[in-house]
Amino acid sequence: MPKRIALICFLSLVMLMSVLGNLLVMTAVCKDRQLRKIKTNYFIVSLAFADLMVSVLVMPFGAIELIHQNWIYGETFCLVRTSLDVLLTTASILHLCCIALDRYYAICCQPLVYRNKMTPLRVALMLGGCWVIPTFISFLPIMLGWNSIGIDHLIEERKFSGDAANSTACVFMVNKPYALTCSVVAFYIPLVLMVLAYQRIYVTARAHARQIGVLQRAGGAAASADSADHQRNHRMRTETKAAKTLCIIMGCFCLCWAPFFITNVVDPFISYTVPDQLWAAFLWLGYINSMLNPILYAFLNKSFRRAFLIILCCGRKRYSVRRPSILGPGPPCSATQINGSTHVLKAAGKRVARRHL
């Protein structure tokens, strides 16, 4: 009984935090004009909607079955719920891939290249692809039974293999072709693209930080040794913060989804011997990613945090007005931003140029 109560509390907490976090992200973008001007945030809103649907349409039924060890909603709704599960979780992962590609073009390319690449039409096509592509590995094959070709007898056996006499289960088993196709489309291709994109972003951020250090040293040759040490330490902190942010993003994504998709590929080749408890643990670990995404892609961003404070504090002026810099308005600059970690290059160059003039 204590284990069951602990399980109920844990699953309820995951669902509640996922719903509130993703709703807050969507509300922030809808209410904040500055957030709506940033193209990346369209992907973040669509991602939040996908994760919200996971927490509302998929998690509750999975939690009920996990707690009661019985599926009471019939075979047809089992197929619908499974299709929604595959559709929405795949859509969520594809959104993460699009965010990585958008940041790659924004940070690693020139501003003109980014504007040419990420046109409103292309953004709309990418968003559409995030929702259309998953239908070809979810509703279409599952409702037509393509995933169960050759293993129908195993599925029937597992439906009625529960501990209780009259218990049934919503069984989702996949044959080898579907397991490979689904896993490659939903996880492995996005994973490779994300790794390549974030690797290039990190290299570019480090290069920017080094250039800033060179410009600052050129403009302040007469500075004391303490000042030079301070600049070096600041650059190292900037690089470290960017690296940590990217590692957290990739680490959470891999930690949440890699166990499930590795098992999904391996299980058909070892005669479906993976225990049901392990499957459930890996599946809910993937669901937890829907709870973490608002934290990783929004809460770590200063602009989103300001919008959240406005919403949660009922629009108080102290949060709704941007605080001016004590140095006054600075020159325009080109900033490389990774979830609030900003690397400014052109502004430093202009300050150095003025010093030499």
Q: What is the pLDDT of residue 297?
A: 82
> Does an H or E element contain 168, and which?
none
Q: What is the pLDDT of residues 43-100, one digit of tens each?
A: 999 999 999 999 999 999 999 999 998 899 999 999 999 999 999 999 999 999 999 9
Q: In this structure, what are the phi and psi dihedrals at residue 221, rounded to the nearest 5 degrees?
A: -65, -30
| Burial status of residue 6 (CB atoms within 10 A of its CB: 0-12, 13-18, 19 or more) | exposed
Q: How long is the chain?
A: 357
Nearest to 339 by CA among 29, 44, 92, 91: 44
Contact call for residues 187 and 257 (beta carbons, < 8 A): yes
Give the residue extent of every domain in the chain: 2-321+331-356
Nearest to 310 by CA among 49, 38, 29: 29
Give CA–CA dist 319/311, Å, rounded. 10
Q: How confident is the model at residue 333 (pLDDT cuts 50, 70, 90)?
A: very low
Q: pTM score, two decimals? A: 0.83
Tokens of 320: 């709704």
Please write the tens of the pLDDT for every residue from 202-240.
Answer: 888 777 777 776 776 676 554 555 565 666 656 556 555
Amino acid identity of 354? R
Give me the CATH code for the 2-321+331-356 domain, please.
1.20.1070.10
pLDDT digits (tens, 9 = 90+) for 103-154: 888 888 887 888 888 999 999 999 999 999 999 999 999 999 999 999 999 9
Residue 134: enclosing H or E segment and its boundaries? none
